[in-house]
Amino acid sequence: MQVNFQIFSKTNPYLLHPPQLPITLSNKTIITTLRSMIEWIILGIVALVIVVLVLWIISIYNRFVSLRNSSEATLGQIRVAMKKRLDMIEQLLGSVKSYAKFEKETLEKVTAMRASVATASPGDLNKVETESRSIFGRLLAVMENYPDLKTATTVTSMMDSIKSLEDEIARQRYTYNNISQEFNTMMDTIPSNFVAKLMGLIKLEYLQFEEAIKTPPKIEF
């Protein structure tokens, strides 16, 4: 008996091209694949956390550096203004010496302060400010006792310049103390205090200028 394969193949095409059976993965292969994927995901999360942590530390570090640089810049402006005021005070002492006797110690003190103010620390600037205000208070007392001094153009011009410099010093002091407060607050609060410890930072010293002269030195008229 002969079979017509051509007819059979037409009616049953799968006999000529049998379907391929699907390839099945073993449980071991699936578990290995999933484990590998999980490991890569964990590594990615760890890497992301490390990157975020590093960027955060860098941002905190940059903020500390920015505040410290701002404080130094402001302190430099205060030193310049205080030196200018001491220059004016020294000139005023020369202008009023014929009206009042200032001890040699006062003149030497002004010269010494002028020489040291450029590199003075905030603590030293507090002392310079106290001494400068004391001497300036004595100069004001001289002018009150000698009306002709108050009308002298040179003297009044220097007095106005000194008062203007005092206003500038007060503004810069306010700015410096605000910067110092933010810097010191960051050093006291979590988590920025950890970065401060890693950097070995120390707190900034405040400028605590006296608002008024407590006990001006004696002056002879």
Q: What is the mean pLDDT of residues 124-145?
A: 85
**Whether residue 202 has pLDDT greater than 70:** yes
pLDDT computed for residue 213 by the predictor: 44
Q: What is the mean pLDDT of residues 213-219?
A: 42
- Give the CATH H-level superfamily of domain 29-199: LemA-like domain (1.20.1440.20)
pLDDT computed for residue 209 by the predictor: 75
Q: How far apart are CA 134 and CA 210, in angstroms?
A: 10
Tokens standing for residue 192: 């920025």
| Residue 191 preceded by cis peptide, ω within 30 | yes
Mean pLDDT (the chain, rounded):
81
Q: What is the mean pLDDT of residues 174-203?
A: 92
Q: How far apart are CA 185 and CA 204, in angstroms?
A: 10
Q: What is the percentage of the chain residues whose pLDDT exceeds 90?
A: 33
SS3 content of the chain, % helix, strand, coil (to 5): 75, 0, 25
Q: What is the percentage of the chain residues whose pLDDT exceeds 70?
A: 79
More confident site: 149 or 72: 72
> Which residues, 6+ apart, have CB-to-CB distance to 205 below 8 Å?
121, 122, 123, 180
Q: What is the mean pLDDT of residues 206-219?
A: 57
Q: What is the mean pLDDT of residues 104-112?
A: 82
Tokens standing for residue 120: 């003075």
pLDDT band at 8 (very low <50, low <70, confident <90, very high): very low
pLDDT computed for residue 168 by the predictor: 92
Domain residues of the chain, as ranges? Answer: 29-199
Q: What is the mean pLDDT of residues 150-178?
A: 87
User: Are residues 169 and 88 in contact, defined by beta-carbon separation less than 8 angstroms?
Assistant: no
pLDDT band at 109 (very low <50, low <70, confident <90, very high): confident
